[in-house]
Each structure stands twice: as structure tokens, then as C-alpha cells.
A and B are shown apart, each in its own frame.
Chain A
Amino acid sequence: MGGEDSQILFILFSGVFLAAVMATFVVAMVILHRQRQVQNKQKVEQLKVEFEKTMLNIENEIQQETLNHIGRELHDNIGQLLSLSKLYLGSSKPERQAEGKELISKTITEVRSLSKSLNLDWVENLNLEEFIQEQLDKIEASGYCKTEFVANHLHWEPSKEQKMILIRVIQECLNNAIKHASPETITITLDSSGTEKFIQIKDDGKGFDSSIASTGSGMTNLKKRMETIGGKFHLQSIPGKGTEIKLLLPV
């Protein structure tokens, strides 16, 4: 009888123990879930701060570049136009004076278009394909190397933030190619694969061993910038065979 009682006691105890274990398990899971929610919230906030910081940096960089561009334009273009206008307007010949007035009108138009680039509203209306073509035209006009642009019409309308980051990343990639690679041709392809759109920047320059970790922060910055807009930055380079960079963004 004693043995039977202890068996019953064991079954009862096991039942209570099992119930307690299950209750603890469920409560622990709820607590863990809450903790994960808090961690996730903190992570989201951190990412938000990081994103805002990146956007601010990008805005500063674009503004800096715009100021440089304006400086160059004032010196090389508007300065020249005004000097020429002064010269023509000071002339006693009526046809020269008319030309001088025309030059003044042209200068006003140039100043107006320059003033538009002082704020960042132009980014909103910017067409990514046009921007890439413009950048490549500039490179080709400088006689540095040949360029090629393949754009499969994707009807892709990235947000202002995405455009700003893409502009800076593309500019940085092109600068790097010009500075370090000495390529014959730079090719940019705008296309999509599956659920992603991508911009491929390819050069046939010197290349480098991309398997060796870079000591500089340039590539890491580009990668981080792409990640802030939910994108990816892939780089592949082989010494003597050029470099291929892929900027991927989910649709």
C-alpha cells in the first residue's frame, strides 16, 4: 500500500511539476518576446539616427560639390560673360552694345539656373538615367576615357533619399575609377533582376585584389550608405581585369 501511495504521490507531483514547467516556459517566452521587441525598437531607433546622419552627410557633400561647381561656373563662365559684356557695352559701336546686352541676358539665364542648384530641390526632379548620362558625358568630354551607358527602361522612381545616396555613391565610384584605375572604358548598366533593381559600374582599368580587405574607409562607407536605404553594395575586382561594382536596391 505504501508503495502504491508513493506512486500516486509521484504522479501527482509530476503533474504539478509539469504544469509549473509549462507555465514558466510560456511566461519566459512572453518575457523573451518583450525583450526582443524592446531590442528591436532600440535597433530601429539607432538605424533611424544613423540614416538621418548619413542623409545629413550626403546633403553636406552634395552642397559642397554644388558650391564648388558654382565657384567654377562663376569663374569660368559667368565671370567671362560679364567681362565680355563690360567690354562690349563700353564700345561706341551700336552692334557691339547690342551683343553686350545679349550677353547680359545670357548671364542672367546662367545665374538663374545656377541659383536653382543651390538648394536640394533639384534632386527630387532629377532623373537617375539623365544624371548618369550627364556624369558619363562629363568624363568623356574631359577626354579621360570612353564611356558607355546601358539603360533598360525600368520606369524606376527612387525616393529623394534613395536618389541622394545613389548620386553620391555613383559619383564616388566614378571618381575612384578615374583616380585609381586608369580605364579605357567605363560602362554603367541600369537593369533589374528578380525583385531587385541594380546599377552596375564596370571599368576595364588596373583592378585590384578585392579579396584583400581594404585598409581605407571608402568602400565601407559606400556599403553602409547603400544599406541605409535597404540596398546592397557588391564589389568584384581582379588585378589587370578591371572592377565591377553592383548597387542593388529592392523594388
Chain B
Amino acid sequence: MIQALWERILSNYYLVSTVILGLTGVILFIFLPRQKKAKPQFYLPFLILVLVVFYEILAVNMIVNKPLNERIHYLLTSDPYKGWNSWVFNIFNYLLSKILFLLLIRVNLKNPTRRKIVHFLIGILILGGIVLTISGIEKIHEPQPIFYFISNITLIIASGFFFMDLISEDYFLSLNPVQFLPFWYISLILFQSALTLLADVAFEYLAFNRVDIYFLFNYTSMILYFLLSIVFNTLFYLGRNNFLKNSEI
């Protein structure tokens, strides 16, 4: 089983790069000074990297280890088991990782009203997921296009808030956005959310009718996440939010 899992991971470049960048991220984070580790600007990207590695391996494991997947499936629902691992992505990718991304964007916001709105968006995301699943509108073990739409839209709105802050808050006046790491990772989050929004909403149609188009969007999303992991690793390596050496920000 383990052998099959390894073979599956090693045959997928995205998985390999995610695991490698996840591990380097963990190592670089360990070497950060204690007071920096306690800052959300650092521990939230760290949690995102760890969570992504965890759910990507879990998703592969659910394909390899069918009996375990089946057991978990029947813990979550009484519907017939189809061998899918959608529940892994529904819970860990579209709910938990999006909450972490929203929190990370919130940390970089300076406008108190926008920060409150992001809190509200997190509430909508959690409530949306619970209501849609419990009411049976969308099943936890199947693709959830409405929930994917909500999670991507909340991230797009929150990312938009960051850019609004960038052009309106005095805090950002002395900054060069190109040298500011949150600018890069929030831009990547915005791009990933916007581009995958279509693919996620049309997931069912694309995954079953036009796999090539589905993969096109999927690969784009993977490349964007790869870049995002590099930015997070750079953040841990530099130990600051800015490329500038003398910057305290």
C-alpha cells in the first residue's frame, strides 16, 4: 500500500514539488526566530504549506487505499461509495485552506472595516459549507460547485480589499509593492481563485465531459500554487515581508 502511495506521488510532478516545497518551508520556518514564528504573517503561510502537503497526500492515499476511503465515506454519508476522494478536497482545500488564506489576507489589511468584512466572509464561508452540506443541497463526498463558487469569490473579494488598502492606506505609502512579499502572494491567490473559479463551478461538466479543459485549468492552478509555495519559502528564508535588507516590515 505504502509502495503504491509512493509510486503515485513520485509519478506526479505537482505532488513532488508540493512535498519538497512543503518540507523546505517547514525547515526554514523552524530556523525562524521564536518571536517571528509567533507572528501570523509567518505561521499562517506555514500552516497553509503543511495543510496542502497533508491533504494532497491524503487525497492520493484515498485513491490507493480504497478500503480506508470507503470506511471514511460511510462515516460521512450513507450514499453508495463511488471511490472518489472529493471529500478530502471539499474539507481541506475548499474550506480549511481557504479560511487560512482569508486569515492571511486579513493580517495584511490595515483598514479596520475591511478587516471586519473579511471576518464576515470567513463566517459566510463556514456557514455556507455547513448549510449546503447539512441541507443536502451539496454532498460532502461529491463535487460542491456552489460551495467552490463561495470559497473562490470570498478569496477574490478579500484579495481585492488588499489592493484597495494598497492604494488608500498610509501604511503602504512608503512601500514598493514589487518588493513586498504579501503583494506577490495575494496577487497569486487572486489569480488562482479567479482562474479556478470557472473550472470549479463547471467541475462536474468538465471532469466528465472535457477532461482536457479541466486539466488545463487544473494545471494553471497547480503552477500558481507552485509559485505561491516559492513565495512562502522566500518569506521564511528572508524572515521578513520585504525583499529590502533594511526593511523592518
Contact = CB atoms under 8 A, between A and B. Distances in A.
Interface of A: 4, 8, 11-12, 14-15, 18-19, 21-23, 25-26, 29-30, 32-33, 36-37, 40
A29 B166 contact: yes
Contacts of A26: 163, 187, 190
A29 B163 contact: yes
Contacts, number: 49
B213 A25 contact: no
A30 B195 contact: no
A85 to B, nearest CB: 64
B194 A22 contact: yes
Interface residues of B, number: 24
Contact of A11 (B163, B177, B178, B213): B213
A8 B210 contact: yes
B75 interface: no
Given A26-B163, A36-B173, A18 B210 contact: no
Given A11-B213, A12-B213, A33 B172 contact: yes
Interface in B184-240: 187, 190-191, 194-195, 197-199, 202, 206, 209-210, 213, 216-217, 220
Contacts of B167: 29, 32-33, 36
A36 B166 CA distance: 10
Summarize B's interface: helix, strand, loop or mixed: helix
23 contacts: A8-B213, A11-B202, A11-B213, A12-B213, A14-B198, A15-B195, A15-B199, A15-B217, A15-B220, A18-B195, A18-B198, A19-B191, A22-B194, A23-B191, A25-B160, A26-B190, A29-B166, A29-B167, A30-B178, A32-B167, A33-B167, A36-B167, A37-B173
Nearest to A7: B205
A23 to B, nearest CB: 8
Contacts of B177: 29-30, 33
A23 B195 CA distance: 11
A32 B165 CA distance: 11
B172 A22 contact: no
A22 B190 contact: yes
Contacts of B160: 25
Contacts of B210: 8
Contact of B191 (A8, A11, A22): A22
Nearest to A23: B191
A158 B89 CA distance: 61
A19 B193 CA distance: 10
Contacts of A21: 194
A38 to B, nearest CB: 11
Contacts of B220: 15
Contacts of A33: 166-167, 172, 177
| Shortest 9 CB-CB contacts between residues of A and residues of B | A29-B163, A32-B167, A22-B194, A18-B194, A26-B187, A33-B167, A15-B198, A33-B166, A40-B173
